[in-house]
Amino acid sequence: MSKKDYHHGDLKNALKQATLDLVEEYGPQAFTLAAAAKRVGVSPAAPYRHFKSKEELLQMVAIEGYKNFRTMLNDAYQKKKNNPREAFRATGKAYLEFAKKFPGHYIIMFESGIFPRDHPELSIHAKSAKEVIQNALDRITDLTMKPDLPPVTLICDHIWALSHGVVELYGRKSFDAASTIEPEQILESGVGYYLRGLGLFSK
């Protein structure tokens, strides 16, 4: 965002957008309030009218991110809800789509050092997003009636970790030698192998 994009009276939103831009460009650890202020053309002291610290600003952006994340996951699920397995697959695609569509939010949510466990409001929204995946898994486990499954919360943690790993290693092009397989295919096959091993997917 350039200085000309800043309008008096909208400093809070201007700083939010500057934060997203700077985090995408330089990473969350290099982000400062002073850099955000410079980006929108205000004094280094101006951000403190709205935020006590950069952590508070990052938390606000992370909360917005988790709200958008939950919406995308839930919308994808609802479109396929009559078929529980396809609905679950749709949430996986939505996970990757969110990381592509909102890279700045994704980075702040997962890489900025702002942890949900330390921030009650952030924790509420993070859990709400994750519960969409967990509820999708609940429906699949209800279909199979298998008595020897791990807790659904643990299965959800495995899927969450696998999804995040695919985003980090392949969706964000972290490897010097990028895979010739699309991230969506990597996630689909990885989750498929895992759930077939548990007897939850037949194909």
Q: What is the CATH number of the domain that holds 104?
A: 1.10.357.10
| Band of pLDDT at residue 14, cut at 50, 70 and 90 | very high
Residues 74, 37: one domain? no
pLDDT digits (tens, 9 = 90+) for 162-200: 999 999 888 776 554 556 888 899 999 999 999 999 988
Cβ atoms of 105 and 62 closer than 8 Å:
yes
Are 104 and 26 in a shared domain?
no
203 part of a folded domain: no
**First-to-last C-alpha distance (Å) of the chain:** 47
The pLDDT value recorded for residue 178 is 59
Alpha helices in 51-83 (DSSP H): 54-79
Is residue 4 predicted with pLDDT exceeding 50?
A: no
Percent above pLDDT 90 for the chain: 76
At 156 the pLDDT is 95
Alpha carbon of residue 125 to chain centroid = 11
pLDDT for the residue 173 = 60
How would you write 8-56 as a 3-class SS string? CCCHHHHHHHHHHHHHHHHCHHHCCHHHHHHHHCCCCCHHHHCCCCHHH
**Would you state the pLDDT for residue 9?**
63
Task: Provide the number of structural domains found in the chain.
Answer: 2
Instruction: Output the pTM of the full model.
Output: 0.88
33 and 126 assigned to the same domain: no
Same domain, 31 and 82: no
* Statement to judge: residues 138 and 45 lie in one domain: no
Residue 42 inside a domain? The answer is yes
Are 44 and 83 contained in the same domain? no
- pLDDT digit string, tens, across residues 82-91: 999 999 999 9
**Are 18 and 66 part of one and the same domain?**
no
* pLDDT given for residue 3 in this prediction: 47
Q: From CA 172, how far away is CA 24, in angstroms rounded?
A: 11
**44 is a domain residue:** yes
Q: Which residue has the higher pLDDT, 201 or 156?
A: 156
Task: Give pLDDT, residue 1.
Answer: 42
**Same-domain check for residues 59 and 101:** yes
Task: Give the tens place of pLDDT for each residue, 105-117.
Answer: 999 999 999 999 9
**182 assigned to some structural domain:** yes
| Same domain (yes/no): 154, 187 | yes
Q: Are residues 20 and 87 in the same domain?
A: no
Whether residue 202 lies inside any domain: the answer is: no
pLDDT of residue 146: 80
CATH of the domain at 31: 1.10.10
Residue 99 belongs to domain spanning = 55-197
